[in-house]
Amino acid sequence: MSKPHAVIAIDLPAGLLEDLRRSINPIVTGSDPAAVEAALPRAEGILCSALLPLPAERLDRAPNLRVISNFGVGIDNIDLAAATARGIAVCNTPGVLSGAVADLTIGLILAIARRLFENAAYARDGWPRRQPPPPLGWDPAGKLLGIVGFGRIGQAVALRARAFGMEVIYHDLVDEPVEGLEDCRPVPLDELLELSDVVSLHVNLDPSTHHLIGARELARMKPTAWLINTSRGAVVDQSALVEALRQRTIAGAALDVLDPEPPAADEPLLAMENVILLPHIGSATVETRAAMRDMAVRNLIAVLTGRVPPACINPEVLAARA
């Protein structure tokens, strides 16, 4: 029997590619857009990252597609409704990256609290001759962290923040108590924005969370509060954020994600001193990326060989095939 054809649009280490070749025929490897596009009509599976947009029109050019295996947990690059309507399973990599994104979020909280970037610049730039003395930070202990989106990553952030003595409140569509995190209190979004010393965003991007944080929400935050975004750039209305930062209606923002990515050369956030910018590195550790690749490959192989994948967003598609 011939092996199912798949587009492998992310780089895989040789060993993993060999494993995959045992059951799959990779008709394209690598992210060259022209090669990926040309292979769509034959593709039964696609292994891709968020860098490959898969709107309905593109799915229409892939009539044989049975599975999209996304390298990442966020699937906002994929038109999920269109994929489901076409009987295409959409798989992702939940859980294996939660710790890495939560670690980065805590790193940002500590960097903000201890003014690490300002103080590092101070040390390089003339210390010890400089006056005034290095700027003082603040203790996370006793400060209020507001988590917007209390899913896998939001909860992993809460667990870590408690170890630094922070109090945690959260806002989510689901507000049932979470085992082991019963002391974290669910609150309406406005209350969270008004009370928090640090607001950290961990929702998935969909129409309900697009520009969830706009001018109205930023105006509710304390002038001393920081906004952290390690979810998706479009969860925040970026022009409203620039304005709030210019007017100092909030103290600053630490952003791992932007809209668009990479930012335009004239993006005002690039030049603002009360902003920390990172190039979308939430899951970027050796161990986490390896675990994500492994899970994405297992998802692809499982669906194309008629087995249950480790993680599927629309399992009804698989149930309908059984």
Contact call for residue 205 and ligand NAD (CB under 6 A): yes
Contact call for residue 203 and ligand NAD (CB under 6 A): yes
Site for ligand NAD in 258-297 (CB under 6 A): 280, 282-283
Closest CA to 139 of 198, 218, 99: 198
Q: Which residue of the set 18, 261, 287, 316 is catalytic? A: 261
Q: Which residue of the set 114, 162, 210, 280 is catalytic? A: 280
- In the block, tokens 């040390």 appear at 123
320: its two tokens: 């309908």
Contact call for residue 146 and ligand NAD (CB under 6 A): no
Q: Residue 249: phi, psi to the nearest 5?
A: -75, -20
Q: Measuring CA to CA, how many Å separate 161 from each of 102, 155, 156, 201?
A: 9, 10, 9, 14
Contact call for residue 74 and ligand NAD (CB under 6 A): yes
Contact call for residue 202 and ligand NAD (CB under 6 A): yes
- Our answer to whether residue 202 is catalytic in this structure is no
DSSP state string for 221-232? S-TT-EEEE-S-
Q: Which of 83, 161, 245, 257 binds ligand NAD (CB under 6 A)?
A: 257
318: its two tokens: 């698989």
- Our answer to whether residue 232 is catalytic in this structure is yes
Contact call for residue 73 and ligand NAD (CB under 6 A): yes
DSSP state string for 29-78? ES--HHHHHHHGGG-SEEEE-TTS-B-HHHHHT-TT--EEEESSS--TTB
Q: Which of 44, 79, 167, 172 binds ligand NAD (CB under 6 A)?
A: 172
Residues taking part in catalysis = 232, 261, 280
Binding site residues, ligand NAD, CB under 6 A: 73-74, 94, 97-98, 101, 149-154, 171-174, 202-205, 208-209, 230-232, 256-257, 280, 282-283
